[in-house]
Amino acid sequence: MHLEAVLRLSAHHCKPAGLTLQYGTAGFRTKAEHLDHVMYRMGLLAVLRSKKTKSVIGVMVTASHNPEEDNGVKLVDPMGEMLVQEWELHATNLANAEEHELQTVLTNIIKQEAISMQVESCVAIGRDTRPSSENLSLAVLDGVIALESKYQDYGLVTTPQLHYVVCCRNTDGRYGEPTVEGYYQKLSQAFKDLVEQSPDCGAEQRCLSIDGANGIGALKVKEMEEHLQPILLLQLFNDGSKGKLNHACGADYVKVQQKPPEGIDMKPGERCCSFDGDADRIVYYYKDCDDRFHLLDGDKIATLISTFIKGLLVKVDLKLNMGVVQTAYANGSSTRYLENIMKVPVYCAKTGVKHLHHKAQEFDIGVYFEANGHGTVLFSKTAEEQIRQLTNMGASEEIRKAAQMLENVINLINQTVGDAISDMLVIEAILFLKNLTVQKWDEMYTDLPNRQLKVTVSDRKVIDTTDAERRTVKPPGLQEKIDELVKSYNLARSFVRPSGTEDVVRVYAEADTQENADALAHAVSLAVY
Ligand code: NG1
Ligand code: ZN
């Protein structure tokens, strides 16, 4: 193996001795100044992964909803999914190798994975709008160049757009044209086809206010806007021209703080939504006439979408099984509504999109959403084929129409990963078709009041969980304490888990009133501390 170029270029991206990081649910994520060497090495790893899979591999530079000073990097696998678990370990080993160990660690990965270095490779690179992202993506590029690989730099893109182009590149364009323009074309066409049959609605119903979190999503919505007119009239706030990325705005802020972002002009009853910093999450909200804030989070989105799809499935009379996948953070009311009223099976997965994605793949139609607004719908090959067949030769006009709508949903939803823009268009289309206001959608069920808190502890790893993170097994006695506290409240539920992206323990509690949810969360925090 000739790795001289790798070692020579690595001298420009030296690892600070002793610094260790872990490839977690969101890839690597930390302060931007600690990431240069990680980026270079992820460039190297992407090339190896590309050679191993004989496919284009994506590298996205972003830290999503985290503060502007942070950054991060994620690898995207051939079909646009997250990097496979076994390679997360390679990523961690490579990122943590001291300079003098780099050659050995790299050679070990090549050997262990039996990678033939002669195989061609190609890496697709994208980045968000953080000030640090451009230089960090150049460091990724250096790694790619060091291994003499082909690459394409897509520049400023949302995370889901990069997942989309990677999937297109590896499926000979069957998923779509592998460009950002191709993404706009595919989505806007599917959106228009889907809403074609909606009742004529007034201008008010066609207006949507978007909080772009001062990030890449804002930029891309501006680019896409003209494709959606005149059906959808978008008003963009926090477009990045003034404010700081994710600062007092964006989907995470709105969800965790349970209040509107700063910088948005909200009138009573108006439909608003917030993207996060890399536009893979979305939450909706509105203010009622009494100035009360109402949040429609990932659970409400999952409910809206699965109800709509289920309705169409009944019409086409296909025996396709549909399941909804949530995490422990899903509001208890949403789970009860889906199971008891909608009669849809619901599953709980561990936090982190890859866990939900894998579970959702077990169904013909798998709807998955994290409460924070990250999610999508997956259609199996069988489901897609059966639906497509009916669009050509449905037994009746009604069946053909319903099948056509399902096909439009398939084209509109970004099946590779949660996507704020794509999810927004699916939601908007359903609201148009069903002639639903945001208030009516909100009334599907009433969320139980809930509270999320963070607790800083000396070592969050002392907490170990089971049952999709709903119960702790370590430290001894903690679960018993939580059980005891939960007993003293009505409709209560609480759990704690170590965060995968921050050095904190997260506490979640829900109960019959906000005061009780707050009190329970507080009491559980003290038990953790
Ligand atoms: P952690 O920090 O492990 O809680 C957070 C989100 C996840 C997911 C990841 C990746 C919550 C409670 N957790 O994970 O849902 O989005 O970040 O970005 O929202
Ligand atoms: Zn994100």
Q: Counting atoms of ligand 1 from 1, which one is nearest the CA of 370?
A: 15
2 pLDDT band (50/70/90 cuts)?
low
Say yes or no: CB of residue 22 within 6 Å of ligand 1.
no
Which one of 10, 50, 64, 121 is the catalytic residue? 64
**C-alpha of residue 281 to centroid of ligand 2, in Å:** 6
pTM for the whole thing? 0.96
Binding site for Mg(2+): what residues are annotated?
64, 276, 278, 280
List pLDDT tens digits, range 7-16. 999 999 999 9
* Per-residue pLDDT at 500: 87
What value does the mean pLDDT of the chain take? 95
Would you say domain 450-528 falls under CATH 3.30.310.50? yes
Ligand with minimal distance to 246 CA: 2
Reduced to 3 states (helix: H, G, I; strand: E, B; else coil), residue 12 is: helix
Say yes or no: CB of residue 450 within 6 Å of ligand 1.
no
Closest CA to ligand 1's atom 11: 372
Say yes or no: CB of residue 501 within 6 Å of ligand 1.
yes
- CATH class in words for 182-296: alpha beta
Same CATH fold assignment for domains 4-156 and 182-296: yes
Best probe residue, ligand 1, of 252, 495, 499, 504 (max atoms within 8 Å of C-beta): 499
Using CA atoms, how far residue 128 sits from 59, 158, 179, 276, 384, in Å, is 12, 6, 16, 11, 32
Q: Counting atoms of ligand 1 from 1, which one is nearest the CA of 372?
A: 19
Q: Counting atoms of ligand 1 from 1, which one is nearest the CA of 256?
A: 19
* Per-residue pLDDT at 394: 64
The continuous run of DSSP H or E covering 498 comes out as strand 493-498
173 pLDDT band (50/70/90 cuts)?
confident
Say yes or no: CB of residue 374 within 6 Å of ligand 1.
yes
The continuous run of DSSP H or E covering 354 comes out as helix 353-360
The residues, any chain, with a CB within 8 Å of residue 287's CB and separated by 6 or more, are: 260, 266, 267, 268, 269, 270, 293, 294
Say yes or no: CB of residue 506 within 6 Å of ligand 1.
yes
Q: Counting atoms of ligand 1 from 1, which one is nearest the CA of 65?
A: 18
Q: In three state form, how does the secondary structure of 467-489 look? A: CCCCEEEECCCHHHHHHHHHHCC
Report the range of poorest mean pLDDT among 364-368, 380-384, 388-392. 388-392
Would you say domain 4-156 falls under CATH 3.40.120.10? yes
Report the range of poorest mean pLDDT among 9-18, 72-81, 114-123, 388-397. 388-397
CB 58 within 8 A of CB 169: no
- Tokens describing residue 18: 């002793």
The β-bridge partners of 286 are: 294
List pLDDT tens digits, range 303-339. 999 999 999 999 999 989 999 999 999 999 999 999 9
Closest CA to ligand 1's atom 7: 352
Closest CA to ligand 1's atom 5: 501
Say yes or no: CB of residue 83 within 6 Å of ligand 1.
no
Give the residue, 198 or 469, on which the prediction is more confident. 469
Question: Domain locations in the chain?
Answer: 4-156, 182-296, 304-422+433-442, 450-528
pLDDT at 1 > cutoff 60:
no
Closest CA to ligand 1's atom 13: 351
**C-alpha of residue 380 to centroid of ligand 2, in Å:** 25
pLDDT at 474 > cutoff 80:
yes
Say yes or no: CB of residue 24 within 6 Å of ligand 1.
no
Q: Counting atoms of ligand 1 from 1, which one is nearest the CA of 374?
A: 16
First and final C-alpha spacing in the chain: 51
- Tokens describing residue 333: 């009311």
Please name which of 364, 368, 381, 369 lies closest in space to residue 313, comparing C-alpha atoms.
Answer: 364
Closest CA to ligand 1's atom 4: 499
Report the distance separating Cα 436 and Cα 301, nearest Å: 13
Q: Is 333 a catalytic residue?
A: no
Say yes or no: CB of residue 372 within 6 Å of ligand 1.
yes
Cis preceding linkage at 230, omega within 30: yes
Report the distance separating Cα 273 and Cα 276, nearest Å: 10
Best probe residue, ligand 1, of 29, 256, 351, 506 (max atoms within 8 Å of C-beta): 351
> Is the reported ipTM for this assembly greater than 0.90?
yes
pLDDT at 100 > cutoff 80:
yes
